[in-house]
Amino acid sequence: MHPATSPTAGTPAEPPHRTPAPRRRFLHGMVAAVVAVPLMFGAAACGDDDSAGDGGQVKLSVFWWGGEARAKLTEDALALYTKKHPDVTFEKTWQANQGYFDKLATLTAGGNPPDLFQIDDNYLAEYAGRSTVLDLKSYQDSGKLDVSKFPKSLLEYGVVDGKLAGVAAGENTQGLVYNKTLLTRNGLPEPTTGQSWEEHIAWAEQVAKKAKVPGTQDPSADYKAFWVWLRQQGKDLYNGNELGFTAADVTTWFTLWKGARDRGATPTADVIHEGNASDVTKQLVVTGKAATSWVWVNQMPDLKKNTKDELGVVAYPGDPSAQWARASMYWSVFKGSKHRDTAVDVINFLANDPEAVALLGTDRGLPSNMDLRATVSQTVTDPAMKQSIQVESELAQKFGQSPQVPIKGHSKVKSELVKAAENVQYQRASPAQAAEQFIAACKSAIA
């Protein structure tokens, strides 16, 4: 791999074509070294793929976001595919997360979309609604796409209007990460899965009084926490093409956390604002400004890199069955691809080939194939990742039915929640006023 520049999380980057270095590597003792390979790799075409005039060769374009580490793992897995299927070449493009979906939209609008691309639940429904992505249901039914080892709720979280729009590249779920070292040093109990929201706030207040550190980040601006809480109330974030909650629900949510702030269980508004950043290096549990942060379970290793303290992780408060097996991201196929059969075969390979799954590890979340997840779990050496896998495996026994994939405008809804919650935190609006403003902004976003 010879990147033109190294993409960083905060810098939009045009997605340069990446040429893989001529290498293979051992991983878990499963992959043997091979000779150098060129930029374009080969893979087998099948079915309706149009390879006429190309001597049977198929060039498949693949686009994903991530950093150098993910790029290397992905290229290694694609190189393994070409070793087993030498008739298709891969045109690989990747870039940092920021700006990725702008670039994908540009490629799609310009009539030059990739055959196979990574997407997340912020945009899956939107692309499916525009008939941009291929319905993979027929491939599932025929067995060409084997999802029989996927958790049911994880598979269902890729269905939009009855169509399988994306296949989970990995599984993730919400996690409440806490500073175990801080709690032990002060003789304080650790939070537990199944704790109610009121019990969590009371616990956080106790931590603040004894450890002199706010017990919890205020998650009123965090859509993940709000979503789980809604599901525990019998509601949801969305109901069809409408919102699944009312202004009264939002008012109750904001009021809950205003009470926590008033009791000193959370940091001040300025510090909460710092924690609202998605950058894991700014999460309050690692900056020492709160004893807990509200994250995705698979972020544990990255969090651990930013603190010397021992961290623990449990489910969000309340009934854990409100959580679900969320696709950390999906692989989708462009509906108009001339090589859609091959693209689907690549997805099947990345999900179900033991060597490929071992190569990819947990970079995109826990492997979707439960049998191979167990195999990979046994080989993981990183303590934080081991902990993440253990917690998510335990929660998997309690997962409820997955919600519908978020609708068009979801990204705007998330940002409007931050704005409304911070208006309450900074006392610019009451919970009820901010709730009404949030509902109005959401309705405009999803219209």
Residue 30 lies in a domain: no
Q: Are 161 and 185 contained in the same domain? A: no
The count of structural domains within the chain is 2
The H or E element containing residue 200 is: helix 197-211
**118 is a domain residue:** yes
To the nearest 10°, the Cα dihedral for 87, 339, 158, 40? 40
Residue 223: C-alpha distances to residues 215, 300, 410, 419 (Å) = 20, 19, 10, 12
For 77-133, write each residue's pLDDT tens digit.
999 999 999 998 899 999 988 899 999 999 999 989 999 999 999 999 999 999 999
- Which CATH number belongs to the domain containing residue 426 in this structure? 3.40.190.10
pTM (2 d.p.): 0.83
- DSSP per-residue string spanning 125-184: HHHHHTT-BPP-HHHHHHTSS--TTS-HHHHHTTEETTEE--EEEEEE-EEEEEEHHHHH
Whether the predicted pLDDT of 227 surpasses 80: yes
pLDDT digits (tens, 9 = 90+) for 170-219: 999 999 999 999 999 999 999 999 999 999 999 999 999 999 999 999 99
Q: Are residues 83 and 196 in the same domain?
A: no
Could you tell me if residue 222 is inside a domain? yes
Do 318 and 331 belong together in one domain? no
Q: Are residues 354 and 304 in the same domain?
A: no
For residue 114, the surrounding DSSP H or E stretch is none
Domain that holds residue 133: 58-171+327-397
One domain for residues 236 and 317: yes
195 and 250 together in one domain: yes
